Amino acid sequence: MSELFDRVDALVASRSPLPPPAERKRLRAAHGLTLDEVAAALDVRRATVSGWESGKTEPRPPERDAYARLLNKLAELYPAESNSAAPAQGTAVPPPAPQARPVSTGPASEPAAMTVSENTQPRLAVNAAAPAAVSRPAATARPFSASRRPAARRAVPANTPQDGVDPRFVNGPLAVVDVGVDGQVLAYCVGGLVLDVPAKSLAGLVEWTLKGAKLGQPKLSGPGKNADPLIVLTEAALERYGLPVRFTDEERLAGRLTEGHKVARQLARQEWKLTKRGFGPWARIYRPAQGSQRACVQLCIPSWDALDTRHWAHAAQLPPAELARLLGTYASRVMTPRGSTAVTGLELMTALHPPTRAGAPDEDGKRTSEHNPGSLGKDPVDLTDWPSCEVPDGHPVLGDLPRFYVRGPGEKLFEEAYDWARPLTDDECMRPNLVGIDVNMAFAAGANGLLVGLAQAPTHVKTPVFDPKLPGSWLVDLSHVDLSRVKSGKEWVKLDGELLPSPFTPKGERPLGPAWYATPTVAYAQELGYDVTPTEAWVRYDNGRYLDGWYNRLRDAYIETMADLGVSADLPPQEFLAAMDGYRQHDPDLAIVVSAIKATVKGGLGKLRERPRGEGWKPGEPWRALARPTWRPDIRAAIISRTRINMHRKIVKHAAFTGQYPVAILSDCAVYAADGESPLDFLPYREGKPLPGGFKLGVNPGLVKHEGTQSVLWGEGVREQFNAPELNLARYIKDGAVTDQDSGE
C-alpha cells in the first residue's frame, strides 16, 4: 500500500504549481541565491535552472516538486510588492497596467486568464482567487491543453532584453480572434492572455493590431525584419467582420475571395493593400513602408483551409485558446507562420540570412543597402544563366526542345530520394518479421553543414578536376563503381552487391553511362574508393553553409518539442523505443507541432524548386516562383543527394558488420528482415553503444526510430496479391494497410 501511496504522491508532484518564469528569477535573487546554488540543491545543471527561469523549459518530476517547494518558501519570505496593494475583484487601479478578467478556458481550479482592453492606458482588475499580479500578467503559466502540458514559451533572440520580452511585442507573436458568448470580440494570445477587441470592421481590426495589440516577434538575425503580427480568424469572427465562413466553388478554385467583395472594397477605401495572392487563407494586408516603419498584418483563416490537415491535423477545430497556444509554440520555436508550412520553411531561410544589410555611412552619414554576405542576394538568378541540366521541364531555357521531349540522365540532373525494393532471399523468408526504421528529420540532417552556391550564377567548366568541396553539377560516368567491393573507412570490404541499391540513382539501379550528379553523389563515389573523371560541370565558386542556421533552428524546435512529449535526447535505446511508443497520445495537441516542424523542413526544401501552379502557364514561359532568389533547384538537389548518400553509407556500414541488407528503402525509411519485432533485434548494439557510422536509435536528426513491424508472410502476401515481386514494402510498413491505388492497380 505504501508503494501505491508513493505513486500517487509522485503523480501529484508532477503537477506542482509554479509561478511565472520572471517571478522564479525574482524570488531566487531576493534571497541572494545563485544559479549554481539552486542547481546544486536540486542536483541539476546550472543551464537547467536558467532555462526554467527564462521560460525555455519546464521542470519535470522529481525535480519539479522540489523546485516548487523552494519557490513557495521563498514566496513566503519575499512576497511580490503588488500583494499588499492587490485590489479585490473588479477594482480598478491607475494605468498603465492592463485590465484583467476571468475567462473559462480551463478547469475551475486554474488561475483566471488575463483580458486586456484596447485603451492606450489600459486598466487592471484582479480576480481575488488569482495569484498576485506582476508587471506582465500574460506570463502566468497555463497547461498547453486543459489538463496537460505547460504553456507555450517564447524564444529569446540574441537582441532582446534579458527577461526575453520585447516591449513592442509583449503580447506575443499572434492572436486568435473569436466572438465571446456576450458578443464581445476577444483576441486569445499565448500564455493565457485574452485581449478585448474594439474593432467594428476588418480594417479597424488591422489598425488595432498594429497600434494597440502589441503583437509581433523580434527578428531572427541582425539585418532582418521583425515578424508581422498574425491574426487567426475563427468562424464567428469571420461572420462578425462580414467574411464568408466557407469559400464558394469559384473562390475555392481561385484560392481567394473575389476582388469585388465588400470587405476587400472597405480595405481599399482605407488605403490598405493586398499582396498578389489576394484575400486568401493566408492574406497579407499592408500599406507601403515609410522608411523602416512597416504596417503589415498577416491573416490566417482556418475554415478556408489555411491549416492543412496533413500537417496541422485537427488544429483548425481547436478552441481559440488552445489554437493560440499551439500556434504560439510553433511561432516561438520556428517563426511566426507566413503561410503554409512550405512557405514558412522557405521564409525561415530568408529571415536567418536576409539578402541585404545596412552599409557603412557615407560622408553625409547616410547608410544605403548592400549585399549581405552569406545570403542568396535580393535578385534571382537570371533565367538565361541557369544550366539546362539543373532546371525542371518547361523552364524557359528549354524552350527550344521539341514538345514532349524526354531528357535522359546525360541531360538532366535527377537527384531524388530513394524508392527501391528487391525480392527477399531464402534466408530472409525464413525470418518472421520485417522491421522498418525511419531517419529523424533526414532532409534537415542532409542540409546540415552542406556547402551550397550563394548569390552568383554558376560557372561552366569543361573537363574539370573534381573537387568534393565545390558545390555544383557534374557530368560523369559512375557505371564502373562496383558495390561488391568498396572502401569502408580505410579498409576495402566485400559485400553482396546484388542486395544493395546503387547510391547514384533513386530507383537503386546501376547507372549505364554518363549522367549529371550533385557534388555529394560524386564525392561518395570517391569515398567508396573509385576514381571519377567529369567531362563537364557547372560549379559555384561563391558558396557557403547557407542552411546551417536553418537546420539548427528546426533541430532545436524538434528536439525541444519532443522533450515536452517525454522523448528526450539522452534516453538509452530501450527507453527511447518505449517513449516513442504512443508519444502522440501523451499530448495530441503538442504532437501537432512536431508534425508541423517536419512539414516545414520538407515543404521548405520543396519550395526551392517550385513548379508552375496553374495561372495559365504554358511550357517555355516563366512562372512566378522563378522571380525569387530562393528558387534554387541546385540546392534542393544537393540536399536530396546528401540525404540519399547518408542513408547508403549507413546501410553499407551495417552490411559490412552484420551481413544484413535492406529489403526496401523509401526516402528515409529502411526495412530489414529480423527475428524479432524491435529494431534492437537487428541493430548491432554492444553494451548500449551502436555501430560507429551505422544506424543509431535516438531523437536527434539523422538518428533513427522504429517505423513499424509487419510479418514476412504479410509482405510476401501483399506482393503476391498485386503480382509485384518488388513492391516497396517500406511504404506500408507502418500500419500494413495497402490499397489498390497505392499499389498502382
**pLDDT tens by residue, 91-141:** 333 333 333 333 433 333 333 344 444 433 333 333 333 333 333 333 333
Residue type, 610: E
Which residues lie closer than 8 Å to 464 by C-beta, 6 or more apart? 474, 534, 536, 537, 539
Q: b/e string for 595-616 if b means 16 or more Cβ within 10 A?
A: bbbbbbbbbbbbbbbbebeeee
3-state secondary structure 472-505: EEEEEECCCCCCCEEEECCEEEECCHHHCCCCCC
pLDDT digits (tens, 9 = 90+) for 295-333: 999 999 999 999 999 999 999 999 999 999 999 999 999
CATH code 1.10.260.40 region(s) in the chain: 2-77
8 Å CB contact between 325 and 582: no
Q: Are strands 543-544 and 452-453 parallel, antiparallel or unpaired?
A: antiparallel
Concatenated DSSP letters of 541-588: SSEE-TTHHHHHHHHHHHHHHHHHTT--TT--HHHHHHHHTTHHHH-H
Which pLDDT score is estimated for 350? 97
Which pLDDT score is estimated for 599? 98
Task: Report helix, strand or coil for 306.
Answer: coil
Which pLDDT score is estimated for 21? 87
Which pLDDT score is estimated for 121? 34
Which pLDDT score is estimated for 11? 56
Task: Report helix, strand or coil for 293.
Answer: strand
With CA atoms as reference, report the closest residue to 191 among 230, 139, 119: 139
State percent of the chain over pLDDT 70: 86
CATH assignment of 2-77, given 1.10.260.40, 1.10.3720.10, 3.40.50.150, 3.40.50.720?
1.10.260.40
User: Which residue is listed with cell 526575453?
Assistant: 164
- Alpha carbon distance 708, 732 (integer Å): 9
Which pLDDT score is estimated for 6? 58
Which pLDDT score is estimated for 63? 83
Which pLDDT score is estimated for 418? 97
8 Å CB contact between 215 and 209: yes
With CA atoms as reference, report the closest residue to 250 among 262, 260, 242, 258: 258
- Alpha carbon distance 12, 355 (integer Å): 51
How many CA atoms does the CB half-sphere of 737 hold within 13 Å? 2
Against a cut of 0.95, is the pTM above it? no
With CA atoms as reference, report the closest residue to 146 among 401, 318, 366: 318
pLDDT digits (tens, 9 = 90+) for 494-539: 999 999 999 999 999 999 999 999 999 999 999 999 999 999 999 9
Which pLDDT score is estimated for 694? 95
Task: Report helix, strand or coil for 163.
Answer: coil
Q: What are the CB-based long-range contacts (under 8 Å, 24+) for 355-362?
A: 355/629, 356/223, 357/222, 357/223, 358/223
Taking 50 as the pLDDT cut, the residues of the chain under it are 82-162, 741, 743-745
| Cα 174 → chain centroid | 17
The alpha carbon dihedral of 237, 238, 239, 245 has a sign of: negative
Retrieve residue 736's grid coordinates: 500494413
- Alpha carbon distance 675, 614 (integer Å): 50
| Cα 306 → chain centroid | 16
Q: For the chain, what is the radius of gyration of the CA atoms?
A: 28
